[in-house]
Amino acid sequence: MKNTISERIADFLKNYPPFNAMDARQLEQLSLEVTIIHKETNTIVFGQGESPHNNFYVVNKGAVALSKAGSSQILDICDEGDVFGLRPLLANESYKLEAKAYEETILYAIPIKDFKPLALENKRIGNFLIESFASNTGNPYSIKHRGKLYGESSESNQYSSDKMLDLQPIKYSTKLITCTEGTQIKTIANKMTKHNVGCMLVVRNDLPLGIITDKDIRKKVATGLHPITASAQSVMSSPIITYPKGLTLAQSQMAMMKSDISHLVLTEDGTTDTKVVGILSKHDIMVAVGNNPAVLLRAIKRATKAKRLRGIRHGIMNLLQGYLEQNIPLGLVSKIISELNDASTKQVVKIALSKMDKEPPVKFTWLSMGSQGRGEQLLNTDQDNAIIFEDVPEENLETTRNYFLKLSERISKMLNTIGFEYCPADMMASNPSWCHSLSEWKKVTTHWIHNPGPDEILLSSIFFDYNVTYGDKALADELSQSIFDNVQGYPLFFTHLASGALQNPSPSGFFRDFLVEQDGEHKDFFDLKLRALMPIIDAARVLILSHSIKSINNTAERYEKLAELEPNNKELYLACSYASKALLKFRTRQGLLHNDSGRYIALDKLNKEEKIKLKRTFKTVKEIQSLIEVRFQVKNLLR
């Protein structure tokens, strides 16, 4: 007896191997036996060495990380539609790896007893299983067999820094861009530009004849040697050097060096007499080598789908972890990571724009606010953003806003897909109160400045750390200017802003004990963000605004600038700069350790040294708080 849910499950499974080989009736039967499991982030699906469950698993939503127990090294991440934990059930052995929910995940658990008969009965399923297991006697979870064992995933990318990566087969692009001997150079160049590739394969009946790279066009056409109307044949490099598919990373690197070429053509059997199956570029090798910001950045820029970006972001997290392990200065780390985060957001905006049916009616600016705006967002935290669009005539205002709201909703959803949580207070451009024309924004900010109630102060403190991620910078500059002009006329605003900065509870109690949260879900945890990071960030903001310095958003940099501007307070400011970095690093470490935002810290989990380090920053927090209290005469404000 099928029901609505089992129908939905069947509907999902039928898209992925091996279930795509089943007939509809079988799949319906099987779906009825499924248990749907919701896994919270970081909960274990099965542990290493555990005896096999009665089910194997398919990821419906979210992601599951496979790793060796006790190691932070993730060997594989299973995404939507990937099957895992099947082999141990068939081989009747215990799990070789630990499977843990990498994010909030919904799994379908499929009982092996119901699956096995189907597998035996259905030849195609049997073949799938034999193929995927026979070929990977070594490591059942190796990246090599992802494509088979875990379902199709040529899109997904592994930036594993596995030491043995050299000997692993390398991913190559199978989407071939080809032309024939007679194609004109101009057409070829256009096609290469359109597909954003560096080379074009010349084929005859699917057999490779030659190759044309950017270099050929530069050397043979741009120099005037051949006209742009010449045929492919006249400029292509031929004969072509081909290799069999299944090259390892090391082999392909060698091959490129040996022949001094930047693209390898892969054919069925490695000769020019068989069909071309793919092209391997230097870029592919770089991506495989992985942990390199430049490569990640390029991969981000090439991404055309949010899903792909999500994979790249896993790579960014890996990179971050590596940096922290090697103790690279946090200033540098946060610059690089912020740059990558920024690029991802930018790419998301680009993708979203390309999916709208119309071009934007006027110029606009996408602002990142809060931690991303300050360039301090190392982990995936909430998204805070806003849109400014150019002024339009009154009668067009609402239609224009609607366009940008629609765009923002798309962007926001995609950002969510790649790992930025929605802002729980809804401070996102998809909210009409964060999607304004320039003059509306001027009005709104003026209102905040002239009526500095607690809410307005809170809004200002989030908003004033904005950073242009995409679009027309002039709009943001004009708004900044208007804000500064306004603030200079209302010095009382600083007093309020300063009082806002003092609002956050102090990090330590009377005896310099940690103050922990009293109730709620984080009872007995120390709130690092609220009690230590926010006061120091808020103080930096009010001080730097009072000096009318714009364009510096980063807290540590703000303090460095302040130290320069006020030599008599230099020592304190430098201490603050150091403290802000130390706290951020602390938060990031904690976040990476627990795969969360790192905001709440279980004090009993800290070692003595960490506690001392943390406490040392508290002294600085207290000092900077008393400085702004005195300077902006907060006491005079009805308290």
Partner 1 sequence: MWPFSKKKPLELPDFWWEYEAHFNEKLPEGVHENTFVVLDTETTGFSLTKDRMLCIGALKLLDNNIVVKESFEVYIQQEHYDSESAEIHGILKHSKKNTISELDALKQFLVYAKNYVLVGHHVMFDVNMINAALKRNGLPKLKNKTLDTESLYIRTLLISSVVQKKERYSLDDLAKKFSISRKDRHTALGDAFITAIAFLRTIEKLKPQKMKDLLR
Residue number, 188 or 534, with CB nearest to partner 1: 534
Question: If binding is defined by CB under 8 A, does position 636 make contact with partner 1?
Answer: no
Question: If binding is defined by CB under 8 A, does position 525 make contact with partner 1?
Answer: no
Residue number, 243 or 422, with CB nearest to partner 1: 422
Alpha-carbon span 573 to 562, nearest angstrom = 7
Q: Which of 8, 123, 215, 635 binds partner 1 (CB under 8 A)?
A: 8
Residue number, 47 or 489, with CB nearest to partner 1: 47
Parallel/antiparallel/unpaired status of strands 199-204 and 178-179 = parallel
Helix (H, G, I), strand (E, B) or coil at 296: helix
Alpha-carbon span 251 to 241, nearest angstrom = 14
Alpha-carbon span 159 to 438, nearest angstrom = 42
Question: If binding is defined by CB under 8 A, does position 5 make contact with partner 1?
Answer: yes
The residues in 315-344 that bind partner 1, with binding defined as CB under 8 A, are: none
Instruction: Please enumerate, as own/partner, the contacts of 394-399 that have beta carbons within 8 Å and a separation of 24 or more.
Output: 396/361, 397/437, 399/361
Residue number, 76 or 103, with CB nearest to partner 1: 103
The residues in 28-47 that bind partner 1, with binding defined as CB under 8 A, are: 31-41
CB of 35 to partner 1, least distance (A): 5
Phi and psi torsions of 232, nearest 5°: -55, -40
Cis peptide before 454 (omega within 30 of 0): no
Alpha-carbon span 95 to 87, nearest angstrom = 9
Alpha-carbon span 612 to 274, nearest angstrom = 67
CB of 225 to partner 1, least distance (A): 55
Residue number, 604 or 609, with CB nearest to partner 1: 604
Secondary structure (DSSP) of 268-290: SSSSTTS-EEEEEEHHHHHHHH-
Q: Which of 50, 104, 440, 623 binds partner 1 (CB under 8 A)?
A: 104
Query: In terms of DSSP H, where are the helices of 166-248?
Result: 185-195, 214-216, 232-235
Sign (positive or negative) of CA dihedral 90, 104, 296, 587: negative
Parallel/antiparallel/unpaired status of strands 435-437 and 385-389 = parallel
Question: Is there a contact between 412 and 422 (Cβ–Cβ < 8 Å)?
Answer: yes
CB of 602 to partner 1, least distance (A): 14
CB of 294 to partner 1, least distance (A): 32
CB of 517 to partner 1, least distance (A): 13
Question: If binding is defined by CB under 8 A, does position 516 make contact with partner 1?
Answer: no
CB of 85 to partner 1, least distance (A): 16
Helix axes 293-302, 306-325, angle to 10 degrees: 170
Residue number, 273 or 524, with CB nearest to partner 1: 524
CB of 6 to partner 1, least distance (A): 5
CA-CA distances (angstroms) from residue 260 to 235, 256, 257?
18, 5, 5
CB of 458 to partner 1, least distance (A): 6
Residue number, 39 or 144, with CB nearest to partner 1: 39
Question: If binding is defined by CB under 8 A, does position 3 make contact with partner 1?
Answer: yes
CB of 447 to partner 1, least distance (A): 13
CA-CA distances (angstroms) from residue 602 to 13, 410, 531?
40, 37, 14
Residue number, 414 or 614, with CB nearest to partner 1: 414
Size of the site for partner 1 (CB under 8 A): 35
Site string for partner 1, 394-433 (x = CB under 8 A): -------------------x--xx----x-xxxx---x-x
Residue number, 523 or 611, with CB nearest to partner 1: 523
The residues in 43-82 that bind partner 1, with binding defined as CB under 8 A, are: 61
Phi and psi torsions of 33, nearest 5°: -90, -5
CB of 634 to partner 1, least distance (A): 21
Question: Is there a contact between 216 and 237 (Cβ–Cβ < 8 Å)?
Answer: yes
CB of 283 to partner 1, least distance (A): 32
Alpha-carbon span 94 to 53, nearest angstrom = 9
Question: If binding is defined by CB under 8 A, does position 444 make contact with partner 1?
Answer: no
- Residue 423: name the closest of 370, 378, 465, 464 by CA: 370
Residue number, 2 or 635, with CB nearest to partner 1: 2
CB of 481 to partner 1, least distance (A): 25
Phi and psi torsions of 575, nearest 5°: -65, -40
- Length of the chain in residues, anyone? 639
CB of 463 to partner 1, least distance (A): 11
CB of 426 to partner 1, least distance (A): 5
Question: Is there a contact between 535 and 528 (Cβ–Cβ < 8 Å)?
Answer: no
Residue number, 40 or 395, with CB nearest to partner 1: 40
Using the contact rule CB under 8 A, the part of the chain among 5-13, 119-127, 277-285, 574-582 near partner 1 is 5-13
CB of 473 to partner 1, least distance (A): 26
Residue number, 444 or 565, with CB nearest to partner 1: 444
The residues in 470-509 that bind partner 1, with binding defined as CB under 8 A, are: none
Helix axes 112-121, 24-32, angle to 10 degrees: 170
Question: If binding is defined by CB under 8 A, does position 24 make contact with partner 1?
Answer: no
Using the contact rule CB under 8 A, the part of the chain among 15-23, 46-54, 265-273, 451-459 near partner 1 is 451-459
CB of 148 to partner 1, least distance (A): 27
Secondary structure (DSSP) of 123-174: HHHHHHHHHHHHTTSS-TT-GGGHHHHT---SS-------GGGGGSB---B-
Residue number, 31 or 242, with CB nearest to partner 1: 31
Residue number, 1 or 257, with CB nearest to partner 1: 1
Q: Which of 65, 235, 296, 459 binds partner 1 (CB under 8 A)?
A: 459
Residue number, 212 or 601, with CB nearest to partner 1: 601
- Residue 403: name the closest of 469, 369, 352, 478 by CA: 352
Question: Is there a contact between 303 and 171 (Cβ–Cβ < 8 Å)?
Answer: no
Residue number, 458 or 603, with CB nearest to partner 1: 458
Binding site for partner 1 (CB under 8 A): 3-6, 8-9, 31-41, 61, 104, 106, 109, 413, 416-417, 422, 424-427, 431, 433, 455, 458-459, 521
